[in-house]
């Protein structure tokens, strides 16, 4: 019989990659969608028609109990969150409700269905929990034992989700694992995140549709990988005999300036500076200056390894956005 998976956050970048992966592996895939997201619903029906959509909300306990009851999952992947760090500063309480307490609601939904011993659970933890302040490990990077010091309402809420997942593992013997994922990007990334914002703007500059891009702080460094590689790691965590926590990262860190450099080179522009304006609107009250992950445990224990490197990622995103914008231009001309 086919295994069943329940994914929250199915309309996001990771949810879409994971749904495809699980479908390819023969799973029956169920996805949680908020009731009023009609546009997203129709996109999902076109793109991922195999997904069984269930209307529920991470802040509504009873709806999650129903989602678990309907889907009877072997595996639950909790990917839903308010995931934009900048937004979390403006909406800290909503972020706590969804990104923090939502994890508890999901764990409780499994327990209230009496499935804590049968359903395996994945929690999307994040490198934002490290906060970049304890960066005293040059060349080593943050691993599973590094200190947490979140620097945003998002990071703080995620840390609650991380610890409540560990608590349910220890208290109720749940097969509950946390993936501490460093930034992972790609063509499915939302335009509000810096990599996609750049790749999209570069494509539009190339096609003469805009002449510059406005960004915030250009100095922070991130450990950027490809999202398609990272969902494989999520799945591998739930296939292990015992639950555990794992860092998924590339082990390299690059600044936003490095991303700009490569992205503009893709369209034959060697100096990106004249095309970039800084706008304080995109600055954050507190910044994570540097993130570098150490994926050794995942590589050794899960056999996980990222495939796409940094230049490959930038190229993939710029090429995709040039194609997308070209298609849109042609459609508009008709």
Q: Is 197 in the site for ligand G4F (CB under 6 A)?
A: yes
Candidate ranges 80-88, 105-113, 166-174, 227-235; the one touching ligand G4F (CB under 6 A): 80-88
Candidate ranges 100-108, 165-173, 215-223, 269-277; the one touching ligand G4F (CB under 6 A): 215-223
The least distance separating ligand G4F from the CB of residue 135, rounded to whole angstroms, comes to: 13
Q: Quick one: 66 or 284, whose CB is closer to ligand G4F?
A: 284
Instruction: Find the binder of ligand G4F among 3, 34, 284, 315 (CB under 6 A).
Output: 284
The least distance separating ligand G4F from the CB of residue 80, rounded to whole angstroms, comes to: 11
The least distance separating ligand G4F from the CB of residue 171, rounded to whole angstroms, comes to: 26
Q: Is 265 in the site for ligand G4F (CB under 6 A)?
A: no
Q: Is 87 in the site for ligand G4F (CB under 6 A)?
A: no
Q: Quick one: 163 or 193, whose CB is closer to ligand G4F?
A: 193
- Let me know if 126 is a catalytic residue: yes
- Let me know if 154 is a catalytic residue: yes
Catalytic residue among 20, 28, 116, 128: 128
Residues 295-334 binding ligand G4F (CB under 6 A) are none
Catalytic residue among 122, 135, 154, 160: 154
Q: Is 85 in the site for ligand G4F (CB under 6 A)?
A: yes
Q: Is 237 in the site for ligand G4F (CB under 6 A)?
A: no
The least distance separating ligand G4F from the CB of residue 249, rounded to whole angstroms, comes to: 9
User: How many Cα atoms are found within 13 Å in the side-chain-facing hemisphere of 14?
Assistant: 27
For the chain, what is the HEC assignment? CCCEEEEECCCCHHHHHHHHHHHHCCCEEEEEECCCCHHHHHHHHHHCCCCEEEECCCCCHHHHHHHHHHHCCCEEEECCCCCCHHHHHHCHHHHHHHHHHHHHHHHHHHHHCCCCCCCEEEEEEEHHHCCCCCCCCCCCCECCCCCCCCCCHHHHHHHHHHHHHHHHHHHHCCCEEEEEECCEECCCCCCCCHHHHHHHHHHHHHCCCCCCEEECCCCCEECCEEHHHHHHHHHHHHCCCCCCEEEECCCCCEEHHHHHHHHHHHCCCCCCHHHEEECHHHCCCCCCCECCECCHHHHHHHCCCCCCCHHHHHHHHHHHHHHHHHHHHHHHHC
Q: Is 61 in the site for ligand G4F (CB under 6 A)?
A: no
Chain residues binding ligand G4F by CB under 6 A are 83, 85-86, 126-128, 182-183, 192-194, 197, 215-217, 220, 222, 256, 282, 284, 287, 291
Residues recognised as catalytic: 126, 128, 154
């Amino acid at each position: 019989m086919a295994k069943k998976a329940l994914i929250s956050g199915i309309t996001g970048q990771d949810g879409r990659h994971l749904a495809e992966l699980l479908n390819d592996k023969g799973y029956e895939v169920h996805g949680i969608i908020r009731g009023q997201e009609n546009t997203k619903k129709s996109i999902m029906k076109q793109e991922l028609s195999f997904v069984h959509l269930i209307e529920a909300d991470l802040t509504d306990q009873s709806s999650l109990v129903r989602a678990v009851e309907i889907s009877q999952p072997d595996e639950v992947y909790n990917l839903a969150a308010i995931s934009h760090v900048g937004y979390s500063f403006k909406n800290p309480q909503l972020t706590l409700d969804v990104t923090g307490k939502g994890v508890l609601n999901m764990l409780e939904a499994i327990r209230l269905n009496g499935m804590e011993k049968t359903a395996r659970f994945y929690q999307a933890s994040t490198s934002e929990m490290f906060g970049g302040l304890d960066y005293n490990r040059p060349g080593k990077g943050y691993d599973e034992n590094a200190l947490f010091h979140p620097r945003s309402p998002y990071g703080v809420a995620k840390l609650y989700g991380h610890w409540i997942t560990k608590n349910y593992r220890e208290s109720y013997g749940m097969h509950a694992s946390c993936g501490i994922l460093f930034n992972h990007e790609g063509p499915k990334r939302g335009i509000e995140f810096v990599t996609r914002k750049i790749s999209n703007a570069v494509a539009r500059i190339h096609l003469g549709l805009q002449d510059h891009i406005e960004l915030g702080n250009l100095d922070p460094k991130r450990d950027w990988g490809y999202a398609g590689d990272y969902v494989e790691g999520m799945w591998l965590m739930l296939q292990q005999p015992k639950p555990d926590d794992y860092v998924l990262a590339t082990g390299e860190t690059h600044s936003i300036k490095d991303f700009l450099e490569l992205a503009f080179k893709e369209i034959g522009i060697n100096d990106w500076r004249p095309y970039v304006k800084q706008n304080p609107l995109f600055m954050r009250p507190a910044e994570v200056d540097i993130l570098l992950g150490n994926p050794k445990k995942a590589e050794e224990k899960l056999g996980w390894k990222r495939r796409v490197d940094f230049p490959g990622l930038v190229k993939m995103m710029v090429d995709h956005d040039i194609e997308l914008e070209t298609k849109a231009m042609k459609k508009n001309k008709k």
